[in-house]
Structures are given as structure tokens and as C-alpha cells.
Amino acid sequence: MRDFVVKDITLAKEGRNRIEWARRQMPVLQLLRARYKAEEPLAGVKITACLHVTVETANLILTLRDGGAQIALTGSNPLSTQDDVAAALAADGVHVYAFRGENEQEYYACLDDALAHGPEIILDDGADTIARVHERAITGIIGACEETTTGVIRLRALSAAGKLKFPVIAVNDAETKMMFDNRYGTGQSTLHGIMNATNFLFAGKTVVVVGYGWCGRGVAMRARGLGSKVVVVEANPRKALEAHMDGYYVLPMKEAAKVGDLFITVTGDISAIRREHFELMKDGALIANAGHFNVEIDIPDLEALAVARNEAKAEVMEYLMEDGRRLYLLAEGRLVNLAAAFGHPPEVMDMSFANQALCVRYIVEQQGQLRNEVYTVPKELDEQVARLKLDALGIEVEELTAEQRKYLSSWDLGT
Ligand code: ADE
């Protein structure tokens, strides 16, 4: 078994410095780390994590390790690994298998290396590891956590088919994850990635946001904040109505395609932008994805329509259409916020990864009690993360009186 696979171990010092920088912006995780170090609730537990290898993830991994866990880490996307972070973790004895720019074969070889450590718990982001374990009938797993919307959708489908082999906690669905990481994290980091790749001016432009879940809400909000006219494309009627009342234009993709200067997909679904839409786009349109997989923009359709392809600059591929229009695909249609920027800021990942750390402990403590289903994060844990974050921010919340609490749990007091 390979001990670790990273691009360049000499990057470790830079990685350590950046991990330490992020640590200071992750107070809830720091607090849990100190607690886990003292209590060792994960003593001897084997974990395979498939996450974006970033400074924030490194702080989660070190928290779990201080809690006694033995960890193997692989990247959850071929373009999201920060090579200095992978080097720092490897130099500090973590089994890391990840480097930026993996091809599909290398991606799965890394994943298999991480699985060869014989995990009892899996931390997944996108459900590739959990899917692999099911395909290969790997046993010995007591539970898993899933970090992202796309992964949760896949796992709910696996569960609905009656094939899920162990309990999974949908960390993504915790309120302290979704409302902050998905909304403010994706909102900011997606625009950061697009600006890094292109220096695009948002003011005065028409930005089409495809998908209005928590991520889409965040992206739309931030694009509007920078002065763009925002169009939302959404198939769910409740969410489309919400986008309308939030003050955005709501259009079907075939209409939005004609007016957008920039398109951003955040749907969790396949082919949200495809041939019939590329055919309608304006010359110079930029197309980016912030959803987990590179399937939301139909790249094979774009390739088939193009008469020529040229790398305009790093992270920007130009596609020349037969009629002379040029369309620009960012970061190969992969998560633009991680491929062309740093991913979400540590302040929001603090809450997401505090949920992860708490849920891993919960799985260990509940071993044998949970069914093979997709669970939401227990309310007490979600609320604990919110309270710890408020404490860290020095924000005091209102305490209800005994009378108010009683009123809220009674039915007899009316008009
Ligand atoms: N997903 C989005 N941003 C991330 C980050 N900074 N670290 C890990 N996973 C992420």
C-alpha cells in the first residue's frame, strides 16, 4: 500500500502556514479539537475521508486525528486539491492520496488507496466513495457522513432503492451547514473563482444563475450585490416563486440563454445547460459551474458544436461556434470556486466541519443503534454548532423566560 501520494512534499511548509492561518478562523472546530484531544472519543477508529483537500479540510482531519482516529484522505474532485496542504498533511503522517489535476484513472486509484486502509467510517463529498464501497461490496463500515447536496441526492436514491448498506448522516442538510456554507460560502467563493479566472466586471452584466437552492440563492445575492442583473432558472415551482419574490427575473433556460453574459450552474443535476442553449448564447458568454460534478454543463455538446477550441488563458477554454460566436468555459466545467479560487472561507467551513466532527463521534457512540438510512444531523448537534459559533463571535442571544417557554409548548391560551 502506498503511504501517501502528493504532488510535491517540499510544499509542506507553505501548507502548514496556510493551515495555521485557517485554524485561527475556525474557532468552533478548534474548541472541538481541544475537547477531542482530551477525551479521545475516536480512539482507534479508522476513517477514510474523501473531501476537497483544502486548508479547512486539513483542520478537520487534524481534529479527528487528535480525537484518536486513524485517517486516510483522498481528494473529492480532480481539480480541487491544494498541493501544499496535501504535502503538509503527508509530512505530518496523514495518509493523503491527492494532487491537483488528476485524470479519472488517477482519481479512482487515489480513492482506492484511501479505501485500502479498511475504514469503519467514511466522510464523503459527492458520494463517490460510498458508491465505490457499494459497487465493490466492501464490508466493515459502521456509518458515513455526506458533505454535499449532490452526494445526499445520490444517497437518498441508493436508500430508496433499498440498497444502502450502512447509516449515513446528511451533514449537508444541517441548518448550520446549508444556510452558511452553501449560501454565503458558495456565493462568495464562486464569484471569487470567476473573477480570478477572468477579471469579469459584474456591474451592469446579466448573470444567469441556474438552480435556486441554498447555493443558487447565495450566488444570485452576491452577483446582485456587485451590480449585475440576475436571472434565475429553476424547475421547482416553490423555489422559482421565491426567486421571483426575492426580486430576480425568472426565466426558462431557453430564454435565459439569449440574454446572459455569464451563466453559473448550481443545480446538482445533469445537462442544465446543453446544445439547444449553447446555440442561443451571445458571443463572448462565460459559462461556469459551482455544482459538485462537471455534468451540469453538457461539455460533450459544447465540444460537438465547436469548430475550434483554444485555451484563452488558464482556467478559460474558448469554443468557436460555426457562426463565429465564441463561448468560454471556465475551469473545465468543474467547481469554479475550488478550481480557480480557495473554496469557501474558513469561517463557514468552521460550522460545516464542526458538524462533521460531531457526527463522526455520534456514529461511533450510536454504533448498532442506527438503521441503514440517510439521517439528518440530530437537532441538538446542529444547535450546539450554532451556539458555539455565536459564543466565538461574542454574540449574545435572547433567553426566553419560563413563562414564554411554557406558552410555546401549550395549546390552551388563545383569544
Ligand atoms: N467545499 C467548498 N469549499 C470548501 C473548502 N474550503 N474546503 C473543503 N470543502 C469545501
- Ligand 1 centroid to Cα of residue 162, in Å, is 30
pLDDT score at 400: 97
Residues 97/72, Cβ–Cβ less than 8 Å: yes
Identify whether the C-beta of residue 125 lies closer than 8 Å to the C-beta of residue 50: yes
Mean pLDDT to the nearest integer, 48-63: 98
Chain centroid, CA 298 distance in Å: 20
User: Is the beta carbon of 343 within 6 A of some atom in ligand 1?
Assistant: yes
Average pLDDT, the chain: 97
- pLDDT at res. 320: 98
**390 CA distance to ligand 1 middle (Å):** 21
Residue 282 pLDDT level (bands cut at 50, 70, 90) = very high
Which of 53, 60, 73, 80 for a ligand 1 pocket mutation test, highest count of atoms within 8 Å of Cβ? 80
Residues 76-92, mean pLDDT to the nearest whole number: 97
From 149, 152, 103, select the one nearest 131 (Cα to Cα): 152
Q: For residue 221, what pLDDT band results from cuts at 50, 70 and 90?
A: very high
**Total residue count of the chain as it appears in this document:** 415
pLDDT at 14 over 90: yes
Give the DSSP letter of residue 378.
P
Residue 48 has pLDDT above 90, yes or no: yes
**What is the Å distance from ligand 1's center to 350 Cα?**
10
Q: What is the mean pLDDT of residues 162-183?
A: 97
Average pLDDT over residues 361-386: 98
Ligand 1 nearest atom to the CA of residue 344, by list position: 3
Rounded Cα distance, 205 and 194, in Å: 14
Strand pairing category for 306-313 and 316-321:
antiparallel
Q: What is the pLDDT of residue 281?
A: 98
Tell me what pLDDT residue 185 has. Answer: 98
Question: All domains of the chain, ordered by start, with CATH?
Answer: 9-173+344-393 (3.40.50.1480), 187-334 (3.40.50.720)
Q: Which three cell numbers stand for residue 364?
A: 461511533
Phi, psi of 103 (to 5 degrees): -85, 180
Q: Locate all alpha helices (DSSP H) within 40-181, ordered by sequence.
A: 55-66, 83-91, 104-115, 128-135, 149-160, 175-177
Interatomic CA distance for residues 71 and 107, integer angstroms: 18
Q: What is the CA radius of gyration of the chain?
A: 22
Gap from CA of 77 to ligand 1 centroid (Å): 11
pLDDT at 75 over 90: yes
| pLDDT band (50, 70, 90) for residue 304 | very high
Q: Which residue of 19, 23, 26, 56 sits with most ligand 1 atoms within 8 Å of its CB, as the best mutation to test the pocket? A: 56
Q: Is 129:77 a contact under the CB 8 Å cutoff?
A: no
For 365, the 3-state DSSP assignment is helix
Averaged over 377-393, what is the pLDDT? Answer: 98
Q: Is 57 in the pocket of ligand 1 (CB under 6 A)?
A: yes
Tell me, what's the pLDDT at 1? 80
Helical (H) or strand (E) element with 255: helix 253-259
Strands laid side by side in the 286-289 sheet: 249-250, 229-233, 206-210, 262-265, 286-289, 326-330, 316-321, 306-313
Centroid of ligand 1 to alpha carbon of 54 (angstroms): 7
Average pLDDT of the residues in 310-315? 97
Sign of CA dihedral 109, 111, 112, 116: positive
Q: What cell does 88 get?
A: 503538509
Ligand 1 test: best mutation among 54, 177, 189, most atoms within 8 Å of CB? 54
- Residue that is written with C-alpha cell 478550481 in the block: 339
Query: In this structure, what are the phi and psi dihedrals at residue 374, rounded to the nearest 5 degrees?
Result: -95, 115
Looking at residue 329, what is its pLDDT? 98
Is the CB of residue 301 less than 8 Å from the CB of residue 275? Answer: yes
pTM of the full structure: 0.96
Please report, as a single letter, which amino acid is at residue 371. Answer: R
CA pseudo-torsion sign 336, 334, 291, 295: positive
